[in-house]
Amino acid sequence: MADDEKVYTPEVIEENPFPQEEGGVPIQESQSTSGEVYSQKSIKPQPVPTKRVAVELISSVINTKSKKICGEIQFTPSGAIQIGKYENGVSGDIRISPDGILARNKSGILTIAIDGDTGDAIFKGTVQAGTVISGAVAVGDGDILIDGETKRMIWYTDDVPSIVIGEI
């Protein structure tokens, strides 16, 4: 069985020199080539940039503790602002532009629409206020009209006034 056994010996790996180590020009602090002298440049210390904070604005106009704006803030003109990112079923968004304001919920339904040119406003939900001052209020699909200017309340049936309260 001694003839069947193999003897394994480690493989010898020859050493390879590093670049520029064998026969090349050694890298020195300065070298001269054709009359010019090259040397390493020293880099001046660079200070760490300081964070610029608008201390005056924060301290005089915004109360960060109560999260309230305490004074007037000037805004620069801009094309439009979008708050949030609409993702169907996840989140809604609000868009503010010179043409108006739009808000939609996560289902993609417009919940608030205010026209910047005409002032028309549409609200999907309940509008609640302590006082409402208006010229005329049309209730439902316009079958009931409360008119403050003429001091009348009119109930319509098939576009014909059926009940009139106030002066005719």
Q: Which residues, other chains included, contact 100 with Cβ-Cβ below 8 Å and sequence gap of 6+?
A: 113, 114, 115, 116, 117
Asked if 84 contacts 93 with a C-beta cutoff of 8 angstroms, the reply is: yes
25 within a domain of the structure (yes/no): no
Q: Please check whether residues 81 and 124 belong to one and the same domain.
A: yes
96 within a domain of the structure (yes/no): yes
Residue 122: predicted pLDDT: 92
Q: Which residues, other chains included, contact 30 with Cβ-Cβ below 8 Å and sequence gap of 6+?
A: 37, 38, 39, 40
Q: Please check whether residues 80 and 120 belong to one and the same domain.
A: yes
95 within a domain of the structure (yes/no): yes
> What are the CA-CA distances from residue 22 to residues 15, 16, 26, 29, 40 (Å)?
12, 9, 9, 19, 23
In the chain, which residue ranges form alpha helices assigned H by DSSP? 55-61
Q: Please check whether residues 151 and 121 belong to one and the same domain.
A: no
Q: Please check whether residues 103 and 120 belong to one and the same domain.
A: yes
Q: Look-up: residue for tokens 């609640």?
A: 128
Range of the domain at 165: 129-168
Q: Please check whether residues 142 and 166 belong to one and the same domain.
A: yes
Residue 75: predicted pLDDT: 72
50 within a domain of the structure (yes/no): no
Q: Please check whether residues 111 and 123 belong to one and the same domain.
A: yes
141 within a domain of the structure (yes/no): yes
Asked if 139 contacts 151 with a C-beta cutoff of 8 angstroms, the reply is: no
13 within a domain of the structure (yes/no): no
68 within a domain of the structure (yes/no): no
Residue 77: predicted pLDDT: 78
Residue 1: predicted pLDDT: 53
150 within a domain of the structure (yes/no): yes
**Count of domains forming the chain:** 2
Intervals of the chain under pLDDT 70? 1-3, 19-35, 37-38, 53-59, 168
Residue 61: predicted pLDDT: 77
